[in-house]
Amino acid sequence: MVENKRVLVTGGAGFIGSNLANSLAESNDVIALDNGYLGTPENLKDDVEFHDRSVVEDDLPTDVDVVFHLAALSSYAMHEENPTKGARVNIEGFVNVVEQARQDGCDTVVYASTSSIYGNRTEPSPVDMDVEVQTGYEASKLAREQYGEYFANHYDMNMAGMRFFSVYQGYGGAEAHKGEYANIIAQFADDLANGEAPVIYGDGTQTRDFTHVDDIVRGLEAAANHQLTGIYNLGTGESYNFNTVVEMLNAELRTDIEPEYVENPIPEDVYVHDTMADVTKMREATGWKPQISFEEGIERVCATYR
């Protein structure tokens, strides 16, 4: 556990960022920086210091011991709307924050990458496998990893890139503010609880390694505590298809609503159909492993509707 540190969390009022900031605030001085694009200070506890700022600005509050850099345009759709803006936020913003932190004496950065760059995989994806980018979003996150390697090699900084696998919490937590960008578990649960049919792209056989945000937070803290450098996966090593998700949500909510199947609007050559994490490297480096089973996660998501 990270303790007695001064910590900056960028994207700190967003879904994952606020969960992390609130957890860290129990034993650290925490600054959450967010421009409000997908976050809101309402997600944060009172003892988190909030700054309404952008990661591309100068004079950021980077005089800290540890930086958790989670700020990003975090989906394919966001990047395709404006690829230049996506690159500026995800790449320039990352370099800007890390460089300011380095100049202020910080040598430990944990940052968000993505599991999307593994493409379609029904087998666990190890961090050392060859990857290639298909989208602007993936390109921006891979560029982050390259710049992370630069800061580690050139300035001897601890730079840990974390590839997240399908993070969820449900609308009972900070994920509610993401709306249409929330994880499909949260969206499907809210639809069913309100008597509506969840909309599934394609036939529902696509799979995801669904990882509860509490396990992600524990992984991020472990990466900082062990001052890791390199690329690591945060996932469960299990996957479930969308049809199964709807079945389990129906059972937990005591509803019986069939999903609506529609044509996938995302081009087939860029749509990631299947994901699954190999977390061996993270487990061996820190002892971290996911603690929340998928069944327990579903129960937590649905509890807010009782």
Residues in CB range of 222: below 8 A, 6 or more apart? 282, 286, 287, 288
Between CA 130 and CA 126 the distance in angstroms is 9
Which tokens in the block code for residue 127? Answer: 């961090």
Catalytic choice (76, 111, 118, 137)? 137
Nearest Cα neighbor of 287 from 218, 211, 213 is: 218
Between CA 178 and CA 205 the distance in angstroms is 24
| 137 has catalytic annotation | yes
Angle value at C-alpha 95, between 225 and 54, nearest 5 degrees: 95
Exposure string for 86-104, b = 16+ CB within 10 A, e = fewer:
bbbbbbebbbbbbebbbee
H-type helices in the chain, by residue range? 15-24, 76-81, 83-87, 93-103, 136-155, 184-193, 213-225, 242-253, 280-286, 294-303
Contact 110, 282 (CB under 8 A): no
N residues, the chain: 306
What residues act catalytically?
137
